[in-house]
Structure 1
Amino acid sequence: MNAMKAVHRWCLAALAALATGAAAPVAAQVPPSAADVLAYEGVHQAAWRGDLARLKALVAAGADLEARDGRGRTALHVATHARQREAIRQLAQAGAKLDVLENDRYDAITIAAVADDPATLSLLLSLGASPRQTTSRYDGTALIAAAHLGHDEVVRRLIAAGAPLDHVNNLHWTALIESIVLGDGGPRHQRTLAALVDAGANLQLADREGNTPLRLARQRGYAAMVDKLEAAGAK
């Protein structure tokens, strides 16, 4: 349910970007549907339910931890969507790959980032999952995904883990730009932008039309963002 809400908020942000003239992508991350969940068996079912005893038995019996569902999700992806953190830990300890991508090219880190789930994100990072992968059909990153949604705590944790600050996706947007053009200018997007600025994000990287973050914030009337960018020396 939380993942679905995150996708819904993403769609609203994209519509807001369209209203201001920005080219907005469409939502790509798809959590398991009710039909998917009903069809799950084996490790996928145990991961979704957080059934640790069943998962342990399946691992002992040699179950394939990299088996995929109809959208290419492994048990680790499913457990991440379901926020089943102990199942994630057990899968990792059993040798499940932490950085695999599902069909829409999302990894577990990006799934947790989109779902605004700092606890699961931190667990994945502690287990060795990488915050540096290029993910999604937009050639983005978990940091970009979190920034455009205004998931400020997730953004701070990804920054601390070494996520690339200035990655440019195939829309020619960085995390800093997405916090503006796909944000609402409100407190969470303001904190997201501040975290990126304070971490040393490049303030001059422009979008495809040559608009810098400062110009984009001014165009939208996001006064607090403008103030923060100007104070940091943005042009």
Structure 2
Amino acid sequence: MLRLPIELLLRIAAHLESERDVNAFARTNRWLFFCLDPFLYRRNVEQSDSSALQWAAACGRERTARRAIDAGSEGTGEALRLSATNGHEEVTRILLAVDGVDGNSRDDDGQTPLSHAAAEGHESVVRLLLDSGKNGHLDVAQLFVEAGADKEAKDDYGRTALHRAARNGHLDVARLLVETGADKEAKDGDGRTALHLTATTGHLDVARLLVDAGADKEANNGNSWTPLHYTAGTGHLDVARLLVDAGADKEANNGNSWTPLHQAAWDGDLDVARLLVEAGADNEAEDDYGLTPLYFAARNGHLDIARLLE
């Protein structure tokens, strides 16, 4: 038997009627198991409604989940519900990466994987599902706040719930967190506050919420980058205007003594550069090497900004 080619072994397995028979045949020895394992997963899909995937999701078996998915297992929505309900973060992550899976699918009771994870208190899975979703899931955030969840708990990147809401533009969740006392000045692993993140991603409504709530407009990320530096570098004109109108320091120096205008000139954002100039930013400010915004604009070929700064 061991000397038979794989093709012949697969043909023998194909003639076995049940999944149980194929499993018994595969377990004759390790070589057969190695050869027939993928076939066994495919047979499970055909005859047992992808039960291997459901079992892997319920029990947190990552290897089995991957192999079942590779074999074409269906029922990823039900599997996602099982992994979320049981708090299996890595299996949930695997399932969310499958093309076409709907992280907001509802079961017969109208519950989503997120609501199941929240009800069971699986905070890491809740964070994963929130970050993968298209909206802020205010109802689940409310549930966690009312249950006394730690609003300042941080993920692997040092981000709190407010960081994530700001980064993803979840206005309602951000408002709930601010109103219930979340720390607006908490810093992530890169030294950024929630205002830094919303300045980077351009979510104007969240930025306005944070500014109106008193978030520090001059917060620095450890290398003295303020939110205005970030929005000057990412070209979010509306957020830049909000910060300027709120009195953000246009001459703030980062670690290289770049002002926000240096940053806009370097990155070539004409609209933000014009906003800063019209607001009175010093177009002759020099960095640690004596270089001006005009130099950066000319060096990087941003002629429209160079003409603005001349």
Query: By the TM > 0.5 criterion, same fold?
Result: yes
1:7 aligns with: none
How far apart, CA to CA, are the structure 2 residues paired with 1:179 and 1:203? 11
Give, in angstroms, the shift of residue 146 of structure 1: 1.1
Uncovered stretches (5+) of structure 2, i.e. residues with no partner: 1-91, 97-121
1:100 aligns with: 186
1:217 aligns with: 297
Report the residue type matching 1:205 in the other structure: A
How far apart, CA to CA, are the structure 2 residues paired with 1:134 and 1:106? 7
Give, in angstroms, the shift of residue 87 of structure 1: 0.5
1:206 aligns with: 286
2:223 aligns with: 138
Give, in angstroms, the shift of residue 227 of structure 1: 2.6
How far apart, CA to CA, are the structure 1 residues paired with 2:309 and 2:293? 8
Report the residue type matching 1:102 in the other structure: D
Report the residue type matching 1:63 in the other structure: A
How far apart, CA to CA, are the structure 2 residues paired with 1:126 and 1:53? 24
1:28 aligns with: none
1:41 is matched with which residue: 103, 116, 124? Answer: 124
2:199 is matched with which residue: 107, 113, 120? Answer: 113
2:260 aligns with: 175
Q: CA RMSD in A?
A: 2.6
1:156 is matched with which residue: 234, 241, 248? Answer: 241
Give, in angstroms, the shift of residue 73 of structure 1: 0.8
Higher helix share: 2
Give, in angstroms, the shift of residue 220 of structure 1: 3.8
Ranked by relative contact order (alpha carbons within 8 Å, sequence separation 6 or more), the top structure is 1
Larger Rg computed on CA atoms: 2
2:141 is matched with which residue: 55, 70, 74? Answer: 55
How far apart, CA to CA, are the structure 2 residues paired with 1:107 and 1:165? 19
How far apart, CA to CA, are the structure 2 residues paired with 1:106 and 1:172? 18
Give, in angstroms, the shift of residue 104 of structure 1: 0.7
2:265/2:294 contact within 8 Å kept:
no
Structure 1 residues 193 and 91: alpha-carbon distance in aligned structure 2, compared to 1, 3 A threshold: same
How far apart, CA to CA, are the structure 2 residues paired with 1:117 and 1:87? 13
How far apart, CA to CA, are the structure 2 residues paired with 1:222 and 1:72? 36
Give, in angstroms, the shift of residue 44 of structure 1: 3.9
1:195 is matched with which residue: 252, 263, 275? Answer: 275
Report the residue type matching 2:205 in the other structure: A
How far apart, CA to CA, are the structure 2 residues paired with 1:133 and 1:92? 17
Secondary structure of the 1:148 match is: helix
Report the residue type matching 1:80 in the other structure: A
Give, in angstroms, the shift of residue 223 of structure 1: 3.0
**Percent of aligned pairs with the same residue?**
31
Give, in angstroms, the shift of residue 61 of structure 1: 2.2
